[in-house]
């Protein structure tokens, strides 16, 4: 019997070899079995050969047609975002803000000038834009500045879209990314009426959070945040939260995790700093990527231990997303980690003036004075045509197989192509900024190491996180 193998990638993992392929499958083989697989699969044991077949690393030539058919289904399922099913559509009602975060990336304004805010005309054009798009499922994410400072615009957009959707029947969700300082029963009533979820930031203990996210309007942003989290929960709205890691809290990960546990969160996102916008100028908050990786690994091991020993329920989002990419046959839905690049198709952002960008990072580049990634403006009736041109540029430059440093990487079936970051490094930040890969390879390697060494209890925890 003749055997053929699908294109695969491999990397040595201590006493075994990790195999991955473009079907999104993975497998650990002993070094000895890998040698036989790569040279003469026919001499492998029946059990190993069957395992390789089940994970799409090997097939019988006589079954090639059937194999290709099933592989095609698997590939299209993993890449369903290319069919314009779902979209994360960010919109900025205002770039005014009541905070002065040390890592602010979008040059938020502290005054209340009218040019900071979205006009009525642009808000109505945005609503029409939503229904001009081909996507069936759209999550609208209100961003800032601090979007809650223009709750009138948020309410207008939600009310108008709800009205228009009686004709179009799209599946619309909402979320507001907010510091949760400017909230009362009135704002929560609007959120409940339109089903608007809350995403907020909690950077650690009172001391750290107040340092990272100070405000001239609030004595303690930490205390006000926690008060409003409790107010939201009493109204049956349950905010999610993330951490932005700076030099101030990098070495306090355990303390941060304990703060999230004490405040009854079920997820935490230990987000590294994006060196864009104001953050690009404030090197006091920055750190070496290897220091972040070391701190992140320590935090995850501590979090796993707390979950298993103390019976808590807290997952880290990036770790869970990577687990989902590894374990699930479906698209994981995380915009920032797709290949081909999903920016401009699975994700877009509309600024307060109506300008359209393929991602939040490209909006930040715009705030730095460069409009290379602008796709159009919602007030222009021809914006869908200009968007198509920019999307073509992103797709043309957004495939990992065309990146010399990525094309043979064992983690490429789970990783993302990001032409905007590549362009940013080349044109603005400079080659000394960081490598294109950044923390990606280290993250994937760490997750696979945890999977490889996991006992049944830990593996069950990982599968629970992946399915959350």
pLDDT the model gives residue 435: 78
Q: Give the pLDDT band (50/70/90) at residue 277.
A: low
pLDDT the model gives residue 338: 94
Closest CA to 225 of 260, 173, 270: 260
d(CA 152, CA 149): 9
Q: What DSSP designation does 146 have?
A: -
Q: What CATH class is the domain 83-367? A: alpha beta
Contact in structure between 316 and 450 (CB atoms under 8 Å): no
Contact in structure between 97 and 208 (CB atoms under 8 Å): no
Preceding amide of 351 cis, omega within 30: no
Beta bridge partners of 59: 4
Residue 198: both structure tokens together: 């809350």
pLDDT the model gives residue 278: 60
Question: Which of 105-109, 163-167, 379-383, 436-440 is predicted least confidently?
Answer: 105-109
Q: Give the pLDDT band (50/70/90) at residue 111.
A: low
Preceding amide of 340 cis, omega within 30: yes
Average pLDDT over residues 398-406: 92
Quote the Cα angle for 410-412-414, to 5°. Answer: 110
Beta bridge partners of 324: none
Question: Each residue of 403-418: pLDDT tens digit?
Answer: 999 999 999 999 999 9
Q: What DSSP designation does 331 have?
A: -
The string of DSSP codes covering 8-35 is EEEEEETTEEEEEETTS-EEEEEHHHHH
pLDDT the model gives residue 124: 98
d(CA 122, CA 453): 53
User: How crowded is residue 438: how many other Cβ atoms within 10 Å of its Cβ?
Assistant: 17
In the predicted model, is pLDDT for residue 110 greater than 70?
no
d(CA 440, CA 432): 17
Average pLDDT over residues 335-352: 95
d(CA 358, CA 361): 8
- DSSP, collapsed to helix, strand or coil, labels residue 350 as strand
Q: How many residues are given for the chain?
A: 468
pTM for this one?
0.94
**Which residue do the tokens 């907010």 mark?**
178
d(CA 175, CA 140): 6
Residue 453: both structure tokens together: 């060494």
Q: Give the pLDDT band (50/70/90) at residue 226.
A: very high
Domain boundaries, the chain: 3-78, 83-367
Residue 374: both structure tokens together: 């602008």
């Amino acid at each position: 019997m003749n055997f053929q193998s699908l294109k695969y990638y491999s990397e040595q993992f201590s006493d075994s070899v990790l195999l991955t392929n473009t079907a999104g499958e993975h497998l650990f083989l002993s070094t000895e079995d890998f040698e036989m697989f790569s040279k003469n699969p026919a001499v492998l044991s029946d059990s190993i050969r069957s395992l390789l077949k089940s994970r799409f690393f090997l097939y019988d030539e006589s079954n090639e047609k059937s194999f290709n058919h099933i592989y095609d289904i698997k590939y299209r399922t993993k890449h369903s975002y290319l069919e314009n099913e779902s979209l994360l559509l960010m919109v900025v009602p205002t770039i005014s803000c009541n905070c002065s975060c040390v890592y602010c990336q979008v040059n938020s304004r502290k005054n209340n000038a009218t040019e900071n805010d979205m006009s009525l005309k642009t808000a109505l054009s945005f609503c029409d834009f939503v229904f001009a798009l081909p996507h069936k499922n759209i999550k609208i994410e209100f961003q800032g500045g601090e979007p809650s400072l223009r709750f009138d615009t948020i309410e207008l957009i939600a009310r108008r879209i709800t009205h228009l959707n009686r004709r179009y029947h799209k599946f619309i969700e909402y979320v507001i990314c907010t510091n949760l300082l400017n909230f009362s029963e009135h704002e929560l009533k609007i959120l409940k009426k339109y089903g608007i979820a809350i995403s907020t930031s909690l950077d650690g203990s009172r001391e750290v959070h107040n340092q990272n996210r100070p405000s001239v309007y609030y004595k303690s942003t930490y205390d006000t945040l926690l008060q409003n989290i409790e107010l939201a929960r009493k109204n049956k709205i349950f905010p999610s939260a993330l951490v932005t890691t700076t030099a101030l809290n990098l070495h306090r990960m355990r303390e941060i995790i304990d703060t999230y546990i004490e405040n009854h969160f079920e997820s935490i996102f230990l987000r590294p700093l994006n060196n864009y916008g104001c953050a690009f100028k404030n090197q006091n908050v920055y750190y070496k990527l290897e220091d972040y990786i070391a701190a992140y690994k320590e935090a995850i091991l501590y979090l796993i231990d707390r979950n298993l020993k103390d019976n808590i329920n807290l997952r880290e989002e990036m770790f869970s997303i990577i687990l989902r990419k590894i374990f699930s046959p479906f698209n994981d839905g995380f915009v920032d980690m797709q290949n081909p690049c999903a920016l401009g198709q699975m994700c877009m952002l509309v600024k307060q003036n109506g300008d359209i960008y393929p991602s939040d990072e490209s909006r930040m580049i715009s705030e730095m004075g460069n409009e290379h990634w602008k796709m159009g403006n919602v007030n222009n009736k021809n914006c869908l045509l200009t968007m198509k041109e920019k999307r073509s540029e992103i797709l043309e430059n957004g495939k990992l197989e065309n990146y010399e440093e990525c094309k043979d990487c064992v983690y490429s079936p789970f990783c993302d192509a990001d032409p905007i970051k590549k362009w940013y490094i080349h044109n603005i930040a400079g080659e000394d900024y960081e490598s294109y890969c950044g923390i990606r390879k280290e993250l994937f390697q760490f997750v696979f190491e945890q999977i490889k060494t996991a006992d049944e209890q830990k593996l069950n925890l990982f599968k629970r996180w992946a399915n959350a």
